[in-house]
């Protein structure tokens, strides 16, 4: 028996969001955070270190390495992209900005793939709104476009996307590959080669980005959902059978590819039976996926008759649910929980979009008021702290900055100030627009959440960027070390440094580093001061003399020890 759709949507509610506005929205969110900063610790500068070594030709392309360190994640594609970009733009822009250029494209491609995936799901028969007795219901194409616009807005609004989505790490390559695969499987029943190509790119991208198990699970899981639909594929549906066979074959071929490249690793890290660890995971799920998760739960409830009683035929619910469940299981069973949960965001945003046709006006108003108060408050705090740093009024925020980041010298930039003012005025205009009588637009409830998230991220990456760059970079420590080292030093030994510290010394200091384990006879040695065991062998009478201790101004627990070799 066919269940009635819970979506009652008139044609007036599927007004199109102007394309220029949607693209401006996306660019205003994507570009800040990639431009105007240096590599940040730890994952960001570590990944850049591998890219830089490959671009220099000091690391094999099939086995990335850096100072004897192998990557924590067995990824290839993100390092290739960064290294290629550094080589192609050598002498034109700085290497760190060059390495970020492909990742700007990856984040934009993630948003585009999410739009097309949500659009394809909204075109499925069971996702359509109710037909009115005398006409006037939303047309399928217009309805799907409005739902897709809402899906992109929901993805931008997710709090967890901001920081990790603007890093040059394998996580962003995995996110883009997941979004491409999501689009491919969502549009698989439709004619054309693009869905099949997207599946191939998504599965291969996941495999080469260090997530072959995710590729296998998502590929086979999506194919299983199609095969379990109550309406069996008839003989004249041979094209669909061929596409499903192709999807399963691609998943298996990528599993073989991962084996050939030795990309399979056992990373299962089950959470302990401690309340604190489970509370931490619960908090991560709550804030990282906000505000998409409450809307996604509402979608599951309002569309329950379609996805629970129709035997997997409601692919607009089952497919994104499959992606969310796989990513959630990975979050609970791996140590990089936030980076695993990141892969759930495109599908979760699609699920959230299908809640909008069923939202009551009171719920929509509650979302608007909460968003208005929260993001306006955050923007106000950002502005007050910035004004305090510039003028000293009020005094307390500036004193807090001086205490948390001693040595930081603030500066005024006309360009960033103008950008921040324009963004704030745009937010005020959005609030005024939403407060007006614009009840018809289906995507209206996600305009303020997405706009608020983009506003606060842009303000942080303009007004606070010098402060964040100072606090989250190893540059202050490296500059201290450079003041004591000779201008022309033959080599510097390293002991106990982690990947991020080694990469920072290479990039910010341009130092010729050699691992102490290599036996190099270097006149200087830099050791990690966090671990006392690294200095156990450096006692009076030994060939090394402690010359200086360099601490990170924003984290005094993090320090470098500089030793000079004594003359015999």
Q: Mean pLDDT over residues 361-370, rounded? A: 87
Phi, psi dihedrals of residue 36, rounded to the nearest 5°: 90, 10
pLDDT above 50 (res 233): no
pLDDT at 1: 44
Q: How far apart are CA 230 and CA 314, in angstroms?
A: 10
pLDDT in tens, 391-445: 999 999 999 999 999 889 898 999 999 999 999 999 999 999 888 765 678 888 8
Confidence of residue 173 (pLDDT cuts 50, 70, 90): very high
Distant-in-sequence, close-in-space partners of 453: CB < 8 Å, separation ≥ 6: 29, 156, 157, 158, 159, 162, 375
List, as one string, the DSSP characters of 34-91: TBS--PPTTHHHHHHHHHHHHHHTSS-SSS--BTTBPPSS---HHHHHHHHHHHHTTT
Location of each CATH 3.40.190 domain in the chain: 475-565
Contact predicate 118/317, CB 8 Å: no
Does domain 475-565 match CATH 3.30.565? no
Distant-in-sequence, close-in-space partners of 516: CB < 8 Å, separation ≥ 6: 493, 494, 495, 525
pLDDT at 379: 97
pLDDT above 50 (res 72): yes
Top pLDDT among 365 and 459 is at: 459
Strands 492-495 and 544-552: unpaired
Q: Helices 170-186 and 315-333, interaxial angle, to 10°?
A: 160
Q: Mean pLDDT over residues 299-320, rounded? A: 86
pLDDT at 232: 45
Phi, psi dihedrals of residue 75, rounded to the nearest 5°: -105, 150
Confidence of residue 4 (pLDDT cuts 50, 70, 90): confident
Least confident of 41-45, 78-82, 268-272, 415-419: 268-272
Contact predicate 131/8, CB 8 Å: no
Contact predicate 76/208, CB 8 Å: yes
Phi, psi dihedrals of residue 435, rounded to the nearest 5°: -75, -15
Q: Mean pLDDT over residues 194-211, rounded? A: 94
Contact predicate 224/247, CB 8 Å: no
List, as one string, the DSSP characters of 355-405: TGGG--HHHHHHHHHHHHHHHHHHHHHHHHHHHHHHH--SHHHHHHHHHHS
Instruction: Give the closest residue to 511 by CA, choosing from 542, 529, 539, 490.
Output: 490
pLDDT above 90 (res 44): yes
Top pLDDT among 533 and 360 is at: 360
Q: How far apart are CA 356 and CA 129, in angstroms?
A: 12
CB atoms within 10 A of CB 408: 17
Instruction: Identify the top-confidence range among 55-64, 148-157, 499-508.
Output: 148-157
pLDDT at 227: 85
Q: How far apart are CA 35 and CA 16, in angstroms?
A: 31
Confidence of residue 546 (pLDDT cuts 50, 70, 90): confident
Q: Mean pLDDT over residues 453-482, rounded? A: 93
pLDDT at 160: 95
Instruction: Give the closest residue to 83 by CA, choosing from 57, 106, 46, 51.
Output: 51
pLDDT at 532: 67
Q: Mean pLDDT over residues 166-179, rounded? A: 96
Query: Cα separations (Å) of 500 from 6, 42, 61, 497?
Result: 51, 5, 20, 8
Confidence of residue 164 (pLDDT cuts 50, 70, 90): very high
Q: Helices 414-435 and 447-460, interaxial angle, to 10°?
A: 170
pLDDT at 235: 42
Burial 341-372 (b: 16+ CB within 10 A, else e): bbbbbbbbbbbbbbbbbbbeeeeeeebbeebb
Q: Please calculate the CA angle 344-349-352 and round it to the nearest 5 degrees.
A: 125
Contact predicate 174/343, CB 8 Å: yes
Least confident of 33-37, 180-184, 260-264, 340-344: 260-264
pLDDT at 274: 67
DSSP 329: H
Q: Mean pLDDT over residues 107-134, rounded? A: 91
Instruction: Identify the top-confidence range among 230-234, 319-323, 362-366.
Output: 319-323
Contact predicate 107/166, CB 8 Å: yes
pLDDT above 60 (res 492): yes
Q: Helices 170-186 and 194-208, interaxial angle, to 10°?
A: 150
Q: How far apart are CA 224 and CA 229, in angstroms?
A: 9
Confidence of residue 345 (pLDDT cuts 50, 70, 90): very high
pLDDT at 134: 67
Percent of the chain with pLDDT over 70: 93
Confidence of residue 536 (pLDDT cuts 50, 70, 90): low
DSSP-H helix ranges across 236-291: 238-260, 275-288
pLDDT at 364: 85
Instruction: Please state, rounded to an integer, the average pLDDT across all residues of the chain.
Output: 88
The alpha-carbon radius of gyration of the chain (Å, integer) is 26
Q: How far apart are CA 513 and CA 510, in angstroms?
A: 9
pLDDT above 80 (res 250): yes
Instruction: Give the closest residue to 94 by CA, choosing from 35, 28, 42.
Output: 35
CB atoms within 10 A of CB 531: 13
Confidence of residue 234 (pLDDT cuts 50, 70, 90): very low
Instruction: Give the closest residue to 223 by CA, choosing from 251, 261, 193, 254.
Output: 251
Top pLDDT among 232 and 522 is at: 522
pLDDT in tens, 127-150: 888 878 667 778 889 999 999 999
Confidence of residue 375 (pLDDT cuts 50, 70, 90): very high
Q: How far apart are CA 352 and CA 491, in angstroms?
A: 55
User: In which element (H, E) is residue 551 found?
Assistant: strand 544-552
Confidence of residue 100 (pLDDT cuts 50, 70, 90): very high
Top pLDDT among 34 and 8 is at: 34
pLDDT at 201: 96
Q: Please calculate the CA angle 17-120-290 and round it to the nearest 5 degrees.
A: 65
Name beta bridge partners: 492: 513, 524
DSSP-H helix ranges across 70-193: 77-88, 95-122, 140-157, 161-164, 170-186
pLDDT above 60 (res 157): yes
């Amino acid at each position: 028996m066919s269940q009635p759709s819970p979506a009652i949507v008139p044609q007036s509610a599927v007004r199109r969001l102007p394309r220029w506005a949607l693209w401006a929205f996306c660019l205003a969110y994507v570009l800040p955070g990639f431009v105007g900063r240096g590599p940040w610790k730890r994952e960001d500068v570590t990944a850049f270190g591998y890219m830089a070594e490959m671009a220099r030709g000091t690391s094999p392309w099939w086995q990335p390495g850096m100072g004897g360190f192998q990557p924590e994640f067995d990824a290839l594609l993100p390092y290739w992209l960064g290294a290629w970009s550094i080589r192609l733009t050598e002498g034109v822009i700085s290497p760190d900005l060059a390495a970020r250029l492909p990742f700007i494209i990856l984040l934009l491609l993630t948003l585009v793939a999410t739009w097309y995936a949500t659009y394809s799901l909204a075109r499925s028969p069971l996702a359509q709104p109710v037909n009115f007795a005398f006409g006037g219901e939303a047309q399928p194409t217009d309805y799907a476009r409005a739902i897709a616009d809402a899906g992109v807005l929901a993805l931008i609004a997710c709090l967890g996307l901001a920081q990790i989505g603007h890093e040059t790490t394998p996580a962003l390559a995995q996110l883009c590959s997941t979004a491409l695969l999501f689009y491919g499987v969502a549009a698989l029943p439709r004619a054309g080669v693009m869905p099949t190509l997207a599946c191939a790119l998504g599965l291969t991208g996941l495999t080469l980005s260090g997530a072959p198990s995710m590729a296998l699970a998502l590929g086979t899981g999506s194919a299983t959902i199609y095969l379990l639909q109550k309406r069996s594929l008839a003989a004249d549906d041979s094209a669909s059978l061929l596409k499903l066979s192709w999807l399963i074959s691609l998943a298996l071929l990528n599993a073989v590819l991962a084996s050939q490249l030795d990309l399979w690793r056992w990373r299962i890290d089950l959470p302990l039976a401690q309340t604190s660890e489970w509370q931490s995971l619960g908090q991560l799920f709550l804030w990282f996926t906000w505000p998409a998760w409450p809307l996604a739960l509402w979608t599951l409830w309002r569309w329950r008759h379609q996805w629970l009683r129709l035997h997997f035929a409601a692919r607009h619910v089952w497919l994104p649910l499959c992606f969310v469940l796989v990513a959630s299981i990975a979050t609970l069973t791996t140590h990089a929980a936030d980076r695993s949960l990141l892969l759930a965001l495109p599908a979760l945003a699609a699920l959230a979009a299908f809640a909008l046709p069923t939202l009551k006006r009171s719920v929509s108003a509650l979302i608007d008021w909460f968003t208005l108060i929260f993001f306006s408050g955050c923007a106000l705090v950002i502005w007050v702290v910035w004004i305090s740093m510039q003028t000293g009024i009020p005094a307390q925020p500036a004193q807090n900055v001086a205490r948390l980041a001693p040595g930081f010298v603030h500066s005024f930039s006309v360009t960033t100030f103008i950008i921040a003012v324009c963004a704030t005025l745009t937010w005020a205009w959005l609030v005024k627009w939403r407060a007006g009588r614009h009840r018809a637009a289906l995507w209206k409830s996600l305009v303020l959440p997405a706009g608020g998230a983009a506003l606060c991220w842009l303000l942080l990456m303009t007004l606070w960027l010098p402060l964040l760059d100072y606090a989250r970079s190893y540059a202050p420590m490296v500059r201290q070390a450079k003041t004591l080292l000779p201008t022309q030093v033959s080599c510097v030994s390293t002991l106990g440094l982690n990947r991020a510290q080694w990469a920072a010394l290479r990039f910010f200091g341009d130092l010729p580093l050699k691992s102490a384990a290599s036996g190099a006879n270097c006149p200087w040695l830099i050791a990690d001061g966090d671990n006392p065991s690294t200095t156990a062998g450096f006692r009076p009478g030994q060939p090394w003399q402690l010359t200086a201790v360099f601490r990170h101004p924003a984290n005094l627990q993090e320090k470098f020890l500089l030793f000079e070799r004594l003359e015999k």
